[in-house]
Structure 1
Amino acid sequence: MCHIPVFCWISAAVLEKMLSRAESGEIPKTLTQMYTHFLTAQINIKDTKYNEKKETDKEMIFKLGKLAYEQLDRGNLIFYEEDLRECGIDVTEASVYSGLCSQIFREELGLYQGKVFCFVHLSIQEHLAALYVHLSFHNSRINVLEAHESGSPVTMLSLHKCAVEKKLKSMNGYLDLFLRFLIGLSLESNHSLLKGLLVKKTDSSLEREKTIEYLKQKIKTIPCSEMALVLFHCLNELNDHSLTTEIQSYLTSGKLNSEALSPDLWSALVYILMTSNEKFEEFELRKYGRSDAAVFWLLPVIKLSKKIWMHDCDITEIGCAVLSAVLPSISNLRELDLSHNNLQDSGVEILCIGLKRSHYDLKKLLRILGSDVCKPDLHFIVLPTAGLEDTKCRLESLNLKNCGVTEAGCVSLSKALSLNPSHLRVLDLSWNNIGDSGVKHLCAALEKVHCALETRGGGGGVAIIIIKKSGSGDVNQKVTLMKDYGEKNMRLLNPC
């Protein structure tokens, strides 16, 4: 969030007021607390500026919240006069509402006649939308998330369950903050800030405990770390850190046993790594696990890393399938070391799918391979395979040393190089039995394209050097066949 300018602005506004002599209280520790503090601060500024009674605040915030929720539900970031009317906002008073919350709501002149409205930022819209849902439940016992009334009593837990299921059906971060805000608003500290908007104060501590337990159980059933991360953020909004504390104790003691980790602890590990202050320059898989399952669960961290070292991690074609699904969309990845893994030609072929800008269904592929890496329930897998045809992959170094690659694997690599050759500069195939025929396949592919590949180790001591002339689109090939049983000698062939 610190990379979002509007959040920095909100934080500065809240902290400036709270750290002044006139204010007192605990500094916000969660995202919901920060945004709720900001909202109440803007209401107070309005009351002082216009000398208005706070009786109108409740109605105004509720209407703005309804507008925010309905437009968010429709996927709209901008809206029009008729949208305001639907939420009970008088269009003639729109400018008054805009001035009422000048930091929250603004109006702009659209391309056509008439006014176009939007919130300053999507996060503010999501906070107001969550507040509307929370107020509807707290004040009227209504679950606005349900299209049709179920007939059963509405509880805080049922509301939160409905919101979680709604989020899990969405993609690409949609409703992430909305869910965090909605669950966070049930915290007592936020109720204190919203006392002017709530009809009556109630003790909801028991209901919150039920929500916490539900979120923990839900995390166990989601075989996708990225989805589980959202629920971990929700637990953080409720000040529950039990799962992260458990995995942190394993890390501190050095007794992390990845084979014994349950799905919720895998997700907790990802959450800790993602929320740490470390920059994702290098990621070494074997620090946390040595298996295809480790690749799958740690995928969110892998996607943020520039250099990924997975050498000697017992990775097979299953792990290659997981990597291949996201490889084209990782724009910051520069080095990928898969050496000393039994990938075989099948693993290389699957990996090359990602290098060839191809689109495929990972779920279907894993089923064909008979994988159980994504237990407990494979059919719930959701990975970002859409849009892989337009690859963002800028991989510069690929190490496949001692991976059981033969001529067939070289055929797959040559096809990948033909289709996406512009960034790869180092390809290490040493200690693979690719033979002369494998070399010929690669050379034939490189003759057809303007490839930036500079060095490549061959199998069984064969070394091939591809040198690109500076300032020229031509590629000169120098093929050297020599017996090399030492990595040092192989490196001497590097013309860089």
Structure 2
Amino acid sequence: LSVGIKEKYQNQRRESSCPTQSWRNEYLHQKITQLLFLHRYQPRGYDFLLRRRNHEVVDEQENWMEIGDLIGPGLSTQEEPPTVVVHGVAGIGKSTLARQVRRAWEEGWLFKDRFKHVFYFNCRELAQSETMSLAELITKDWAAPDAPIGQILSQPEQLLFILDNLDEPKWDLKGKSSELCPHWSQQQQVHTLLGSLLKKTLLPTASLLITARITALRKLIPSLKHPRWVEVLGFSESARKEYFFQYFTDESQAIRAFTSVESNPALFTMCLMPLVSWLVCTCLKQQMEQEQPLSLTSQTTTALCLHYFFHVLQAQSLGTKLRGFCSLAVEGTCQGKTLFSPEDFREHGLDGANISTLLNMGVLQEHPTPQSYSFIHLCFQEFFAAMSYALGDGVLKGDCFNNIIITIDLTGVYDRHDLFGEPTTCFLFGLLSDQGMREMESIFKCSLSRKRLPSLLHLAKREVLLKRLNLDPYSWHLLHCFYEIQDEDFMKNIFIPFTLRICVQTDMELLLFTFFFTFCHRIERLQLNESGQHRQAGRTSGAFLYSWGPFTDSWWKMFFSILKVPRSLQELDLSGNSLSCSAVQSLCDALKSPQCRLATLRLVSCGLTYNCCQDLASMLGASPSLTELDLRHNDLGDLGVRLLCEGLRQPACQLRKLR
């Protein structure tokens, strides 16, 4: 995806009025940056990778995709026109990918022989209309005043409809068969029209590409016919660096910014999300412009948003109106509303001058016909909604959970299954952390009650007992909430099972896992990618982590960080996973930590050579606890063996068994 094309597609009719760099207009700086995406036979949670009876991992290596394989024979040999569902977590780059597809087709290098017309629709904007015909829908995305509808629809098999953010409006897309519109000229409610396209009762031979958050898939699945699932996993490690060099046109600034972020492993990991990369670059650019030392210490997305909105944009300049702005955001969240009229703002005490301020900040964007406004990214609306909940301003409704203060409203807005997967909930955990509460008290010049936190943690603890954090991708959403709040007392008292099976697919998930595993004091054994010949008979307890990488040096460094904190882990089995010399060096550095308590290390068939043995030998004399090391089926050579023997002779060596 490294081919350079303009990010803003040519027929876009509205632009943000803010003079600052806009997320929508300058996103990716008019370049396509590498996104990782994976073709699945079903979305995570339906054919989860570990559902085999013997707990072996399904090998999905061959399903990593290129952009040209999104729609075409590379995906499937089936003949039916595809409905491709591009899904992922909030801010991961789904809409970016959708706009890239449209723009690449316009420039003639993608699907030019497959589709004669490609139409892009943002469902946030479609939700402004109550009724519409297919002809009117197409005209919305046609450059000229009058679209030749008959000619366009004469070959529906050559049409691609891109429905971006299909999950944003709270539409009922299922519809009964009798309600689905049979003809392109017929006026229907917008959700019925789109439901007809999804169900293939209208233009059954046309292709569809839709984007949605992973938490919305449960509701969308009944509306889809023969869907193909593509999960966006964000920026690769190299693409993060590429992004910085695209954002900063001055190479020296790019190097300074990237070096600064790379020194903060948690922040660098979070930059796999395009939205986070943009926020980070924007914050660093301001520091450069003000000739300040580059320093961005944020460890969580909540902390980063607080820094961006209140240290970069100075949103507190709204004064007492800021609280009204938060209440506007939470009202929209409760109602599934993302477009706000001037009257909506007035109802929350905000006038035209306040709207202009928010537009100039780049928090809002304007939609001229009819006049309305939306947050520049839905995550921003959810952040301010979470602030309203944290302030105690959210209107409580429903009685799903007695004595749960904040979550009464949240569970009325979100499905119980999706509650911890929603950014609003995740931000709320971060805002209720000690750091978050101190920041908000400074921003709003008031003292805030800490009574809301125990109620939220109680619900989270109950969810852990229910989920057991095994074989369920929903667990990642819960772990992300725990990571945002960084509450060690809560984590120490949470129930952790003796056996844990979990699959890591991104660096962000690895970051969440290493944070969580720090508190897994019941688990004494950890194995990476247990399978086949490396499965030990009788081993049923412990933690089993599954991942197919890519195993970069930074991936291993983060993984081995779990050895540097006091805990009960006694055995680590990496057998069957290829380790580079750099990875071995990171492992040995972690084993030398005074906090490490590891007694057994298994490195069977890890592709080790004599080049790794100097680090291993040095570690043997410095590890405070290692007593067993298994190096079978590695080509160490005579030189490697001699180096290890020298390590064994060191007086401080604790090793009792070497194989």
TM over 0.5: no
The structure carrying a bigger helix percent of its residues is 1
Indicate the structure (1 or 2) with the bigger Cα radius of gyration: 1
What TM-score range do you get, normalising by the shorter chain? 0.3 to 0.5
Query: What TM-score do you get using the length of structure 2 for normalisation?
Result: 0.32
